[in-house]
Chain A
Amino acid sequence: MAILEILKYPDPRLKQESVEVETFDDELQRFLDDLEETMGDGPGAVGIAAPQVGRFERIAIVDVSSKPKLLNHGRMFLINPEIVEWDGLAVGREGCLSVPDYTGNVVRAERIKLRYRDRDGNEIEIETEGYEARAVQHEMDHLDGMLFVDRVVSRRHDLFRRKHYKQPGER
């Protein structure tokens, strides 16, 4: 096992799109162990994606079981993950191992149905919501070369937007 180096923004490699995993071999297992150890080394991280350590394959780990009050599916090794359904929007604050010393509010789907392969290549489908769903979406963004800083919103304008409805007779 080894702790891998985490790429830090503005490293242009973080913007790279990752490719699907084709083979579930021993080398993949060793990488997953290293990725897991690297996540554990980060300060309070509940997820990590392979591109954050410079491997551009669609692989992520999410584990929010450190928040026992919240819905969680334990430690999930997400390989070739896909969101097949989503519902609702929620705002939450996010930070990232690749963007130290910054947090920001991001809008994510509240509930998702997720399809992925586990570390042995078995197809899994789960439904999750809230904090865990947020973590999954944050990690999946990395696989598409997207960082949460690209999605940060201002409460003033995005969450409680002042709408002007036309009054009767108004043109």
Chain B
Amino acid sequence: MLNITKMNELGCNTAEGLKRCLNQETFYLNLVQMGLKDENFAKLEEAIKNNDLDKSFEIAHGLKGSIGNLAITPLYNAICEITEELRAKKAIDYSPLLEKVKENRDKFLAEL
């Protein structure tokens, strides 16, 4: 079960995240769960596979916002990295960056 201690161990800044939820732990953890299960992760993978850079950026940018708000720091950092490359529309292989996002997300999903 993912809890505050576990999140902190995984490098999250839960103090920030909790503050944004007026220190309501249950509400916060609930949102964290929703954030991690966001279907946009799948949509991002799909868009990158289709080489649709605009759409990929839009989705990554959205995820950056919500994961950032939840203060899931390691996952947030990985999303930031891919978002910035997509913003610049760089013609690179996005698989390693996407993999990094997936790895970080999986770490948390494993705890749910």
A binds B: no
